[in-house]
Chains A and B, each alone.
Chain A
């Protein structure tokens, strides 16, 4: 079959999964949703254990490819969860995994934010933001450090990371140009 025909079948079919399995999939991701402090990527090891080892719904290679593809595409990294659903059960799988990972945390976030807004001037709320802002900045630097992990062995990559950081912080250059420069340097084999 041609790739397009395969994609067409994948969209409509459930890949042999029944509604019970689909509900299990959704339920498991709902559980992970509330555990995903620091972003959904922090629960990726648990997703891998469940999808690959416990249920055998996808291979380890498929799992890693899902994360890598979502990282390289525009949009929030959370979309790797959509790709996993797609691999497991087509469109129905996307609804199950994305719905599961998003709903519980979103309901919680909205309620906490509304509660916090009503008391924005209260001492505990101001202490929370005052204390957490430095931690947030540290987490940002950590994210950059971990994203750079695959290229940290290359001196040119260090220059690229630092150059990007300074150019984006100090100038108004479009971030898309920086991205294109990175892609070009990578294709030349410099990083």
Chain B
């Protein structure tokens, strides 16, 4: 059977899988990096959750939350932590190398090319159009992952409210991320903590 790189083909049934080797980790992260124009995250969701089934949507968004709070590039942190979870530091290295090695060569080659064509209206137009699609893909990923709020301890309404507040703070008012994580994130964590503690006390 020919593997079609363009069409995600989830295995039959809802069974979750795991990467079998560092080589597979490297290949999958390389494949998703090479499809990611203007940001790899939407492709990472498609490949890791929908195609490979290495992560459930809930696991993906939790891993992403951790990757975003930690300093460093989110997608690299995600590859590091995911690789480490399965194969220790070798897995962390394999995932990161897959993500960066070949794309870096392409970027350096493109830089040499762009120096000659960067003033062409066609090139500039294509870049603008791709930028708009990159924006839409990130929003699309957020739409898909918003389904995980149903299982969130705070409940869908309150979780959605914190999501909107974060967007207003970061996207509209450009508040530095540190303050958003400490402020909005802090309040959200405190509420989650209380609800979890209540649920635990209520348990027989």
Contact = CB atoms under 8 A, between A and B. Distances in A.
Nearest to B197: A123
Chain B, interface size: which category? Answer: 35 or more
Contacts of B68: 38-39, 132, 136, 139
Contacts of A183: 126, 129-130
Chain A, interface size: which category? Answer: 35 or more
Most buried by A among B37, B106, B140, B190: B140
A147 B135 contact: yes
A36 B72 contact: yes
Contacts, number: 386
A138 B140 contact: no
Contacts of A102: 72-73, 76, 96
Contact of A131 (B33, B140, B170, B189): B189
A101 B100 CA distance: 13
Contact of B37 (A72, A82, A83): A72
A17 interface: no
Contact of A186 (B69, B115, B128, B190): B128
Given A129-B66, A136-B64, A77 B139 contact: no
Interface of B: 6-8, 33-43, 46, 50, 61-62, 64-77, 80-81, 84-85, 89, 92, 96, 99-100, 102-104, 106-108, 110-112, 114-116, 118, 121-122, 125-146, 148-149, 152-154, 158-167, 169-172, 177-178, 180-181, 184-193, 195-197, 200
Interface of A: 3, 7, 33-40, 42, 65-66, 68-79, 82-83, 86, 94, 98, 101-102, 104-106, 108-110, 112-114, 116-117, 123-124, 126-148, 150-151, 157, 160-169, 172, 174-179, 181-191
